[in-house]
Amino acid sequence: MTNAIEIKNLTKKFKKFTAVDDISFNVKKGEIFAFLGPNGAGKTTTIKMITTLLKKSSGEILVNDKNPEKFKDEVRKSFGVVFQDTTLDIELTAYENMYFHAVLYNIPKKQRKEKIEKLLEFVELLDRRKDYVKKFSGGMKRRLEIARGMLHVPEILFLDEPTLGLDPQTRNKIWEFVKNLKEKNNVTVFLTSHYLEEAEAVADHVAIIDHGKIIFNGTPDEVKEKTQTDTLENAFLELTGKSIRDESSNTAHETMKKIINK
């Protein structure tokens, strides 16, 4: 078994709109896999299908050789996920958010405190552990989510836009962390990002998705070679064009707008 994730002919239709259109790819165990594409290309929809949050329309998904629809809990145990929009409870403290996760993932009671504090220290939030998350900045929330996603030591970690909207220091810190995960813990990392130079620096493998279809699948060097470009960013523009896309997914921004308009 060398593949952590196998996707075959995966399709997701929302009524008439096809968000993910017959895509196939494999993610090898222990690699950093960058899933890139413009806004609304189908990245988040794909992650949601793999992580059991969304039902596929057709095709096949295997996570560690298991079908997530049949072996829900086994598959759920094997991955951690950091979504693009925050999934923290802002009325709880940082420590409480971590503790909630530790209980859900059945981390033995004696280990909880130590593990939580170790991870909080790593993301430099240990001294803020008793603060409510609503007082946190965007970067702090993101770091906390990554720490939480790692708490149960998953085999696969999904990171949907982990560095979106963060300052260079935090971004740097997060990528260091991601590389470390792979090297020290042999965690498979599945990430999406808009920062292509960053993705280029960490990724072993790149798949580019646009309009729900995979238009490139290979190493960062291969994509540059194919498009005769010098950076991943230029290769990306070469492949997906330069027109601006509208995001169709439900972003945090839209959610906030809905709440404010009420």
**Would you tell me which residues interact with another protein (CB under 8 A)?**
48, 51-55, 72-74, 76-77, 79, 81, 83, 85-92, 96, 99-101, 103-106, 148, 252, 255, 258-259, 262
CB of 203 to another protein, least distance (A): 24
Q: Is 91 exposed, middle or buried (CB count within 10 Å of its CB: 0-12, 13-18, 19+)? A: exposed
Q: Residue 48 contacts by C-beta under 8 Å, 6 or more apart in sequence?
A: 54
Give min distance, CB of 176 to another protein, in A.
Answer: 25
CB closer to another protein out of 76 and 173: 76
DSSP 46: H
Q: Which is nearer to another protein, 158 or 236 (CB)?
A: 158
Encoded tokens for 177: 């962390």
- With vertex at residue 56, the alpha carbon angle to CA 55 and CA 61, rounded to the nearest 5 degrees, is 110
d(CA 93, CA 25): 39
CB closer to another protein out of 88 and 166:
88
What's the CA gap between 46 and 85, in Å, rounded?
15
CA quadruple 228, 230, 232, 234: dihedral sign: negative
Rounded to a whole number of angstroms, the minimum distance from the CB of residue 158 to another protein is: 9
Q: How far apart are CA 251 and CA 262, in angstroms?
A: 17
- From the CB of 259, what's the least distance to another protein, in Å? 7
Looking at the Cβ atoms of 73 and 230, the one nearer to another protein is 73
Please, which residue, 188 or 240, has the CB nearer to another protein?
188
107 or 232, CB closer to another protein?
107
| Closest separation in Å from C-beta 229 to another protein | 36
At its nearest, how many Å lie between another protein and the CB of residue 231? 33
Instruction: Classify strands 213-218 and 205-210 as parallel, antiparallel or unpaired.
Output: antiparallel
Q: Are 142 and 166 in contact (CB under 8 A)?
A: yes
